Amino acid sequence: MSYPNQNPYGPPQGQQPQQPQYGYPQQPQPPSPYGPYPGGGGMPGMQPQYPMVMPGGVKAARVLLFVLSGLNLIGLVLAVAGLGGVSKASHEASSYDGETNLDALNLGKGLLIAVIVVIVIFTATAITLALQFANGGGGVRVGTIVFGVANIMLSLFTFPIGLVHTILGVLVLVFVAKDEGNAWFNRPRY
């Protein structure tokens, strides 16, 4: 006569354990209405829900930000050269003409200084945002969207010359605002 297994630590070597069939049979679980757990760690073979490499549209937006900053640097050089020319003209005009021409030249100098400050701010912002694309979060995305809108608005004031800035600003805005841009900037960082 054979007694049940007296070993509390498992079945003897070479024997398969018998699992008792208690309760109801196992049923497949319906999917959760709230989606997968955001902490990750999905089942093997499942696709990750966040991109692991920068999507093409986000890369294009990053390149366009660098292109915009390069164009701004060209504009900066031209504005500084214009400021030098206006400053030289104001020195020459002060010795020959009256106050009316001098006031117009001083207004021109002030306007060029304001343009230079705006160009420097936009160039530094574009470079900073482009450099943060690899590791930045939602704040970089929002900052890029705000930069794109401000770039479009400012370039509309200089329409014939600013047409390139308008087009590049729209493209940056579209590429970053797409779903793949949202997934990239909202991915978990470790």
Cα angle: 13, vertex 19, 25; to 5 degrees: 160
Residue 185 CA, distance from chain mean position: 7
Taking the alpha carbons of 67, 57, 139, 135 in that order, is the dihedral positive or negative?
negative
What is the pLDDT at residue 27? Answer: 65
Spatial distance between the Cα atoms of 79 and 96, rounded to a whole number of angstroms: 26
Q: Are 162 and 168 in contact (CB under 8 A)?
A: no
Dihedral pair phi/psi, residue 181, rounded to 5°: -70, -40
CB atoms within 10 A of CB 184: 25
What is the pLDDT at residue 144? Answer: 93
In single-letter form, the type of residue at position 174 comes to: V
What is the pLDDT at residue 19? Answer: 60
Per-block average pLDDT, block size 10, for the chain (190 residues)? Answer: 64 61 64 57 57 85 94 92 83 63 77 92 94 86 93 87 90 91 81
Q: Are 150 and 96 in contact (CB under 8 A)?
A: no
Alpha helix ranges (H) inside the chain: 56-96, 99-131, 138-157, 159-177, 179-185
What is the pLDDT at residue 159? Answer: 79
What is the pLDDT at residue 136? Answer: 77
Spatial distance between the Cα atoms of 111 and 5, rounded to a whole number of angstroms: 95
What is the pLDDT at residue 109? Answer: 84
Q: Are 68 and 172 in contact (CB under 8 A)?
A: yes
- Break the chain into its structural domains and give their ranges: 56-185
